[in-house]
Structure 1
Amino acid sequence: MAVSTQTQNHRLADVIAAFEEVYPPGWAASWDAVGLVCGDPVQSVERVLFAVDPVSAVVDEAVEWGADLVVTHHPLMLRGVTSVAADTPKGRVVHRLIRAGTALYTAHTNADTAAPGVSDALARTVGLTGDLSPLDPDPTDPEGRRGIGRVGVLDRPMVLRDFADRVAQALPATAAGVRVAGDLDRQVTRVAVSGGAGDSLLGAARAAAADVFVTSDLRHHPSSEFVEAGGPALVDTAHFASEWPWLEEGASHLVDALARRRGPGGANVEVRVSTTVTDAWSRTFSRV
């Protein structure tokens, strides 16, 4: 996706302001750390890289491409730090970005709760159509559209086996792949999804009368007890994979927001969605 015009380049502060029109930081959870991590607000931005994780492989990609700004979903420093010395992994990321003149910005739970947001992108990717409703609504939203997770219906009913395969084919390939709990011949029509770790929403998925819940990082005991109690089937994906579909949507919203500020053709930025797999797991082994 690229937009090229002869208009003056955007300052970082302008790009951030446009992006925050779509994903206001005030929507983030109180424990979260969103916003500008490093970068000069007056620096010029021509290239923006979207990625899930602010890790060294993404910095490699950003520097090689010449990105002026990296927008990640996950925070680099979620908890307080007292040093960003380059002898730590996080410190090295900061130093490399600053040396390259590349800013880093995070949109995390504010992108999760947005409508559309992270779970909307996941829902569309796995085949949900029509209106989507939040799995865990944001009580501050009078319209009832924002919140964590989404619930909707498939474009056509299918058995769990086929649906799980659809999820596996639609999301980025990872070492762990997709895990399934439940009767593989179960009919699936109504689906709940939540990008990222979602076992805190198991009860909400049951209350929503979903046939299956798609999320990530499901733990053994909650999942086992949930299935034993007759809850919806479960499809567990890699955390990185379930949030990756939002990157294209976030990039598109940024271009649109910048264009609204300057009129048609006024975006004047080139955006790229990283395809670097930043899942923590690199390989699985099975007993033969």
Structure 2
Amino acid sequence: MLARGETIAQLMERLAPKHFAVEGDKIGLQVGSLRKEIKRVLVTLDVNPGVVKEAVDLGAELIVAHHPIIYRPLAHLQTDTPAGALAAELIRRDIAVYVSHTNLDTAEGGLNDWMAEALGLEGRDVLEEVHTDKLYKLAVFVPRAHAESVRDAMFRAGGGWIGNYSHCSFNVDGVGTFMPREGSDPYIGENGMLATAEETRIEIIVPESARKAVVQAMLKAHPYEEVAYDLYGVDLKGRSFGLGRVGKLQAAMPLDDFAELVKDRLGMPFVRVVGEGARQVRKVAVLGGSGRSYIKRAMFMGADVLVTGDIDFHSAQDAEAGGLAIVDPGHYAEKIMRPKTAQWLRERLAEKGYATEVFASEVHTDPFRLK
């Protein structure tokens, strides 16, 4: 059984929910259609002619990319321009392109966590908050005999977390009344007769990111034809999600040694370094992509060094003046998302019994080279 494109997009949105994206970011389906069965998926950092050829050679019907293929507004789609020719080739080959960009950066277990894990950072915090999960209270009335199974279904779907405590709920027993009307198929009672049922009111906290899944799980586990439940927002702050991570190395080390570690762990041919090579660093901020806008934030978080790409001359001077070291492995260090995303997607598809294959791109798309 092959997964349809819509199913793969849903799985990607489970890893990187769309509402985690920075406002205005270009994410989601950008070229083609997801309304088809997908035999092979190609995961890539960028989409260029080499990647499209790779997809054609693999027989992939879907490309999952990190960087948007359409980022700046297109005034036209002329096939004698690079952008137009690339889009035309994708359409001609019936290859769809789906993008997870800053939502994958922000997601827990996404790109910035992968980079932090590669560098061995412990006790990680978010560098710059982008999204705070809104919290909801879900209250549902369940026959007492089914209370445990409905609670468990909601817990498995992500409900019932308060801080580091899971399986949190409040339960009150009472008596419910109802009268099944014509056309109903009641689990308890008879049509046209007032009925009573011993029920449990179950209350749990549900984060916005799991709201849909928890409600669906509750409805599926509930025995009633029509389920009585309330779902309303509460004025409490949920978990924070954001760009970048801040954590600590197991032990302090000289900056130059740390730079070598970054180069090795992220698989880059070189890094640029700001700061004295002998200075000791332990608290590390890491942000995939272009991070010059987060230098002050890294300082505020008390980082000794910031690992990020695309640092310009004057930003480097500002960091140096502020006492923040920088290791710049380049924007292409984000290539770590190719095998990581492919593996995650491969595992989720296998869990659901799909035979769709997932490949990590092997095409080098870094435009820079050393001379």
TM-score band by shorter chain is 0.7 to 0.9
Could you tell me which amino acid in structure 1 is paired with residue 368 of structure 2?
W
Q: Structure 2 matches for 1:70-81, cutoff 5 A? A: 70-81=63-74
* Contact preservation (8 Å) 2:12, 2:100: no
Partner of 1:133: 125
Residue 5 of structure 1 is matched in structure 2 by none
CA distance in 1 between counterparts of 2:315 and 2:33 reads 45
Unaligned runs of 5+ in 2: 134-236
Once the two structures are superposed, the pairs formed by residues 108-123 of structure 1 within 5 Å of their partners are 108-123=101-116
State the AA in 2 paired with 1:140: T
Alignment-derived partner of residue 326 in structure 2: 234
Q: How far apart, CA to CA, are the structure 2 residues paired with 1:267 and 1:132? A: 34
Q: Deviations over 1:221-278 (max 9, x none)?
A: 1211220232x2100111012x111222222332344345x3xxx1422211123221
1:272 aligned residue (359, 364, 368): 359
Match 1:22 to one of 4, 10, 15: 15
Equivalent positions of 1:1-288 (< 5 A) are: 8-128=1-121, 130-141=122-133, 142-174=237-269, 177-230=270-323, 232-241=324-333, 243-260=334-351, 262=352, 266-284=353-371
Q: Is the 8 A contact 1:135 1:204 kept in 2?
A: yes
Partner residue in 1 for 2:148: none
Q: TM-score, normalised by structure 1?
A: 0.87
Contact 1:53–1:74 (8 Å) recurs in 2? yes
Taking every aligned residue pair, what percent have the same amino acid on both sides? 37
TM-score (norm 2): 0.69
Give 1:80 shift: 1.8
Measured after TM superposition, the shift of residue 25 of structure 1 is 1.7
CA distance in 1, matches of 2:307, 2:65: 22
Deviations 1:113-143 (A, max 9, x none): 1112211111112222x33111002242344
The 8 Å contact of residues 20 and 106 in structure 2, kept in 1 or not, is answered as yes
* CA displacement 1:169-226 (0-9 Å, x = unmatched): 222335xx21001111111211100000001110111111111110000111121122
Secondary structure (helix, strand or coil) at the match of 1:140 reads: strand
- Measured against aligned partners, the alpha-carbon deviations of 1:21-46 in whole angstroms (never above 9, x if no partner) come to 22122221222110111222222112
Q: Secondary structure at the match of 1:276?
A: coil
Find the aligned partners of 1:138 and 1:17 in 2 and give their Cα distance.
Answer: 22
1:137–1:144 contact (8 Å) kept in structure 2: no
- Higher relative contact order by CA 8 Å / sep ≥ 6: 1 or 2? 1
Name whichever of 273-282 and 69-78 sits farther off. 273-282
Contact 2:40–2:60 (Cα < 8 Å) also in 1: yes
Q: How many residues align?
A: 268
Query: Aligned partners of 2:354 and 2:253: how far apart in 1?
Result: 42
Query: CA offset at residue 112 of structure 1?
Result: 1.1
**1:145 CA displacement:** 4.2
CA RMSD in angstroms, aligned pairs only: 1.7
Contact 1:138-1:144 within 8 A present in 2 as well: no
**Bigger Cα displacement from structure 2, 139-148 vs 71-80:** 139-148
Q: Aligned partners of 2:91 and 2:5: how far apart in 1?
A: 14
**8 Å CA contact 1:133, 1:145 repeated in 2:** no
Distance, in Å, in 2 between the alignment partners of 1:222 and 1:238 is 15
> C-alpha separation between the residues in 2 aligned to 1:185 and 1:267?
52
Residue equivalent to 1:3: none
Partner Cα separation in structure 2 for residue 191 and residue 218 of structure 1: 16
Quote the offset at 1:149 in angstroms: 0.3
Distance change (3 Å), C-alpha of 1:37 and 1:163: same
